[in-house]
Structure 1
Amino acid sequence: MITPRRALVLIGAAVGLALTTLPAQAADIPAPGQIVMSPNMEHVTNVPKPAALTDIHTDMAFQGDYAYVGNYSGFSIYDIKRPKRTSLVSSVVCPGGQMDISVYGDLLIGSVDSSRSNDSCQSQGQSASIKESWEGIRIFDIKDKTNPVYIKSVETNCGSHTHTLVPGKGRDARKNLYIYISSYGPRLEFPDCQTPHDLISVIKVPLANPTAATVVNTPVLFAPDRDTNGDGVPDDGGNPGVPLPYPDGKSATAGCHDITAYPEKDIAAGACMGEGVLMDISDREHPRVTQTVRDDVNFAFWHSATFNNAGTKVIFTDELGGGTRATCNEAIGPNRGANAYYDLAGGQLQFRGYFKIARHQADTENCVAHNGSLIPVKGRDIMVQAWYQGGISVVDFTDSTRPEEIAYFERGPDNTAPALSGGFWSAYYYNGYIYGSDFNLGLDVLRINDPRTNQAKRVKFDMLNAQTQTSYRERGHDH
């Protein structure tokens, strides 16, 4: 999602277990709020957004019997021990978008990428051109789920649009947690966010004393004098993109939107506005880019990345239109605002294919590829993913040249909010259930019943931060 400060000119059909790829007609679009889903999906429950949080829901994290859901106004903690009876435990009002969150031990980390008057939960929004403005990350102690305590803030360059937790390596894992801060959209009038912005911030959190968390490095990922298009001329801060109007423009690379780490394999994948990158994170404080890929035909804004369990594939998503456009229609087509699948062979990313949901949405529905996670099925690559008002889709990409949707859930247009401002921000699989964070309608709990995914119900995790991947073998166990 593009926050106001980062706003850029970016440049139900019937289904069985094998879903149709024919485009839906206007008559097939559900009525406002009407639920439609594939026969192998079950809607377990919905927990409305807490009244205390007046803005939209954002990203999620999980630990033990709890789900944590971010909101531009703060965050909430839910008890999911009995998913059918999912209930609100507490909400913390602490405004500052996007409040994408992660959890680790007794810590919750939230990203703030909106300029604030100070780092407190009582702060007011103000222009980033004011020198005293603050943005970065907030750290909360969540040992008492009914009463989280704000313990630390860390200001970062250009704020924190998203962040990625990376545990220390070897013996260091017991001592330190590292946080990679992704941010983008530098402006000359912003004192804390100057061009070129070709770096990320690395925060080190001593686990024995998290209030000592501090920025320890700001590694430059993209050399400002690089020549990405091969014309012999330096790009001056990243590929400038193609300055065409929506939907044909391509974004410049001036920071990363999202980084997904696979710490046990010492790799990470970054979605960095104008390109996707592969990174070596064997030295946690000094991550470095090892390969860059671009798609100047179809990708407008590289938004997020996900590895398969084996670490041999990467799915990149294109957030065409910044999540505020109706891109799931015939005019935009199947290859823009989509997923792109790359195989990782010999340390190199090789493009294999695209996937986009085939169900066309109404012109009032924002719809584009967004956040998702793997469903832990051994021997297959299956992912659940949010598409804003396009709903939630489950895709088998075992053959990355022919990804196939095997389940879906969606509602008709959200008429509880203005047009183009609703739907699912994130959809993640955790311990037998799919959880969806809906902008306006709260937390949805779903279950997929399908022979291709049922074995995943036997895999249990004790934590899930979608941007910090762990292997099924490493983190799960069969019952």
Structure 2
Amino acid sequence: MNTIRRRGRLGVVLAGAAALVVTGLSAPAAAQNDIPDVDEVVHSKNIGHVANLPKEGPFEGQDAFNSDIAFTKGHAIVGNYNGFTIYDVRRPNNPRVVSQVLCPGGQGDVSVSGDLLFVSTDYARTNDSCTSEAAPASNPDSWEGMKVFDISDLANPEYVSAVRTDCGSHTHTMVPAPERGSVLLYVSSYSPAPDLPNCQPPHDKVSIVEVPTERPQDAKLVSEPVLFPEGGNPGDGYSRQTTGCHDLTAYPEKDLMAGACMGDGILVDISDRMNPKVVERVQDNTNFAFWHSATFNNEGTKVVFTDELGGGGMATCNEEVGPERGANGIYDLTGSGDDSELEFRSYYKIPRHQGETENCVAHNGSLIPVEGRDIMVQAWYQGGVSVWEFTDSDKPEEIAYFERGPLSDTENITAGSWSAYYYNGRIYSSDIQKGFDVLHIRDPRTAPANSVRFDEFNAQTQPSYGKGR
């Protein structure tokens, strides 16, 4: 965890009362308020746990959080606060470590394009090297931002270049720009302060870094578009003030981006890649504390926004917090261009309560590519992994789940699934403490996804699938 400057790293959501009628599931123990034992694995009948590789080497420690995942050429690249690990998943039931790079800086958000890997650094460091040390963010010479690696040899990644960005890079979103012979990285960061020389208020912008695909060593900051020229949500004591964005998800084929920006959910027109334009903005000051991330459905007619209630370390998957605060928000997208509108339809939260020592929140997930249905797999930290359907925006329901019991039954230790994504027939979960998990869902509703294959997959750069692909 960053002891120099903390910018609201994870997120906390809660499980609501077990009121959803879920088909195809074994009765979850927590429906009777039964919490699994420490490290006990429980799951629905239609999902199997086929592999786990524990954290190893310099990533073994409790503070070395596993974070996001990107996929390329049958390999999963798992970010970590201390760097990243590349796994060969071409035999998904028998994954293996190919390489590991020690390059501390938190939180290690990753994306991939061709032979290039991009890694976010969000904690102030003494310099941009992989041997840097933690530094006060109040030091004007401290560094944080984007790092670029050449992964043409997956067994021997090569550090190529780095670009400093204001307030660092909490997350980033890769958007291909083949017409420019480059890729663009939309960098999200937030929480400026007057005493932080490299993170000054106001910070109502994103940073765009351009990386030439043939000369990645020439990566540079090319634009800093302001998304909230008149300021974002001022905050009201429950909803967070908007001072930047936490996460952006692009749907390049549709020239759209959805942004989760602290106190605001936004829809962005990116037809002019260098000049993104906010065309719709929504707030939920009753139930959303911190807009955390976003996912489009395949048709681009819905957006699922997630909340980050509590900062990621709180036990809020319980009856006390309730079924709406901290949940996913499902919005239908109507109209187009400047006439686009986001219409709220419902909330979704896992229907299992978690223990007092379990941090639990809706976090990173992706679509399961089933044409004609809206199905998503999603990480919930110590709430585990949930597969749920929102084809009917008003009646989301869980299809499958996997979780472990608490890491500890005496203290609240940050743990659980940070990211859970579907890639080429399996679900892959990056567990903060337990390492790399592989799950196999066997359900008629998700079966069509088994035939969909992507060579490269970044959850925040959504591809299309099906007949329109």
Matched, 1:294 2:276: no
**DSSP-derived class of the 1:334 partner:** coil
**DSSP-derived class of the 1:447 partner:** strand
Once the two structures are TM-superposed, the CA of residue 414 in structure 1 deviates from its matched residue by 1.0
Residue from 207, 223, 226 that aligns with 1:220: 226
Q: Which runs of 5+ in 2 are unaligned?
A: none
Once the two structures are TM-superposed, the CA of residue 420 in structure 1 deviates from its matched residue by 3.7
Distance 1:302 1:19, change over 3 A: farther
Distance 2:69 2:242 in 1: 26
The corresponding residue for 1:382 is: 375
The corresponding residue for 2:389 is: 396
Q: Where in structure 2 are the equivalents of 1:310-389 lying within 5 Å?
A: 310-346=299-335, 347-389=340-382
**DSSP-derived class of the 1:85 partner:** coil
Q: Which deviations, in whole Å up to 9, do the C-alpha atoms of 1:24-54 show, x marking residues without a partner?
A: 344x110000000000001111011122224
Residue from 208, 225, 234 that aligns with 1:240: 234
Normalising by structure 2, we get a TM-score of 0.93
Once the two structures are TM-superposed, the CA of residue 64 in structure 1 deviates from its matched residue by 1.4
Q: Which deviations, in whole Å up to 9, do the C-alpha atoms of 1:314-359 show, x marking residues without a partner?
A: 0000010111111100011111111000000112100000000110
Distance 1:96 1:381, change over 3 A: same
RMSD: 2.3
Q: Where in structure 2 are the equivalents of 1:132-281 lying within 5 Å?
A: 132-168=141-177, 171-172=179-180, 175-223=181-229, 226=230, 237-243=231-237, 249-281=238-270
The corresponding residue for 1:124 is: 133
Q: Which deviations, in whole Å up to 9, do the C-alpha atoms of 1:377-427 show, x marking residues without a partner?
A: 010000000000000000100001110001000000013995240000000
**DSSP-derived class of the 2:58 partner:** coil
The corresponding residue for 1:58 is: 67
Normalising by structure 1, we get a TM-score of 0.91
Counterpart amino acid of residue 456 in structure 2: M
Residue from 15, 18, 24 that aligns with 2:31: 24
Distance 1:117 1:417 in 2: 37
Asked whether the 8 Å contact 2:4–2:137 carries over to 1, the reply is no
Q: Which deviations, in whole Å up to 9, do the C-alpha atoms of 1:134-160 show, x marking residues without a partner?
A: 000110111111111101000001100
Counterpart amino acid of residue 234 in structure 2: P
Asked whether the 8 Å contact 1:22–1:358 carries over to 2, the reply is no
The corresponding residue for 1:5 is: 5
Matched, 1:411 2:420: no
Asked whether the 8 Å contact 2:357–2:409 carries over to 1, the reply is no
Distance 1:417 1:164 in 2: 38
Asked whether the 8 Å contact 2:117–2:151 carries over to 1, the reply is yes
| Larger RCO, structure (CA 8 Å, separation 6 or more) | 2
Count, aligned residues = 455
**DSSP-derived class of the 2:311 partner:** helix
Asked whether the 8 Å contact 1:48–1:441 carries over to 2, the reply is yes
Distance 1:150 1:91 in 2: 13
Distance 1:295 1:405 in 2: 24
The corresponding residue for 1:68 is: 77
Distance 1:2 1:374, change over 3 A: farther
